[in-house]
Amino acid sequence: MSSPADIFGDEDFLKTLSYLDLTAKQIRAGARRGERQSSRQGAGTLFRDYRSYSRGDDLRYVDWNIYGRLDSLFVKVFEVEESADVLFFLDRSLSMSFGRPTKLEFARRVAAALGYIALSHLDRVAVIPVPGSEVRTFSGKLQAPGLFSYLLSLDADGETDLFGAVKRALGPTRRNSLAILVSDLMDPRGWRRAVEYLLHRRHRVFVVQVTSEEEEAPGLRGNLRLIDSETGKVREVRITDQVLTDYREVYDRFCNHAERFTRRREIGHARLRSDVPFGPAVLTILRRGGGGCSL
């Protein structure tokens, strides 16, 4: 099993994470009790209110003292404390192997930090590697070392297909959840399809877009033979100042489009570079929960 220091580089960093609630102010339906409150009626831990009796209500929740005083039937309504599902779609495609540290290293740490917060609040955490077919699920704070070990075992490999991974992972029956995409969004099939499908299935969504210094401001010059890391396609190019200027304009449009799209769909979005200090990066994610998820 991995320790917090293995993935965060700091054993004490978990003390900060323990006080943050990944899904604060969210109400979700679920099968187990956790630390999320739902307005569902029935047995629970917190009394909320009374309401008039309706045919079919469980007579066990009738307040007979009120009936004796008012000659009217009222039933007790409770808050049911329940857990949430948090799904991490972790991009581990070959394009994530770039950067110092690599985008994948940074993405694993993001998933570990947010996953630890969720486990601390009794949420269930599922990690879906992209590409990959194995979905690993963790529940409870004691399973945090297992989560860290699994994340550290994921190496960069293959091509990105976020939509395919989302569709396979959700299947026909998975209940509503908080879905967190941690990716560079460089998906030739289109990352927006994955987000739209999640929203269509009534999941809350947060997008963590991981970038690297090398792709934001490449230091390339001269005649080069460039190879696509995921497809192996080769292109002979001559890199000039004008080519770099054109590249940066295209890259900026790509990133700005992600920000506009997520804002328009009212979902959370954070663009983070792999070499930024990790603590402030996590706090940035938590502050930018947006309409899709209150982090």
| Same-domain status, 76 and 88 | no
| Same-domain status, 178 and 56 | no
| Same-domain status, 108 and 206 | yes
Banded model confidence at residue 230, pLDDT cuts 50, 70, 90: confident
> pLDDT tens digits, residue range 179-192?
999 999 999 888 99
* Sequence-ordered alpha helix ranges (H) in the chain: 4-8, 13-17, 64-70, 103-120, 144-153, 162-170, 191-200, 213-216, 241-264, 278-287
Domain that holds residue 245: 4-29+83-287
Q: Is residue 294 situated within a structural domain?
A: no
Q: Is residue 171 situated within a structural domain?
A: yes
| Same-domain status, 49 and 73 | yes
**Across 93-107, average pLDDT:** 93
Q: Is residue 293 situated within a structural domain?
A: no
Cα separation of the two ends of the chain:
28
Q: Is residue 276 situated within a structural domain?
A: yes
Question: Among 15-24, 164-173, 226-235, where is mean pLDDT lowest?
Answer: 15-24
Banded model confidence at residue 83, pLDDT cuts 50, 70, 90: low
pTM for the structure as a whole: 0.76
Separation of alpha carbons 278 and 266, rounded Å? 25
| Residue position matching structure tokens 């289109």 | 190
| Same-domain status, 253 and 109 | yes
| Same-domain status, 155 and 266 | yes
| Same-domain status, 106 and 150 | yes
142: domain CATH number is 3.40.50
| Same-domain status, 89 and 74 | no
Quick one: tokens of 126? 């599922």
> pLDDT tens digits, residue range 253-268?
999 999 999 999 999 9
Most confident segment among 9-18, 39-48, 62-71: 62-71
pLDDT at 196: 95
Domain count, the chain: 2
Q: At what angle do helices 241-264 and 191-200 cross, to 10 degrees?
A: 0
| Same-domain status, 197 and 123 | yes
| Same-domain status, 25 and 45 | no
> pLDDT tens digits, residue range 141-159?
889 999 999 999 999 998 9
Hey, which residues does 62 pair with through a beta bridge? 75
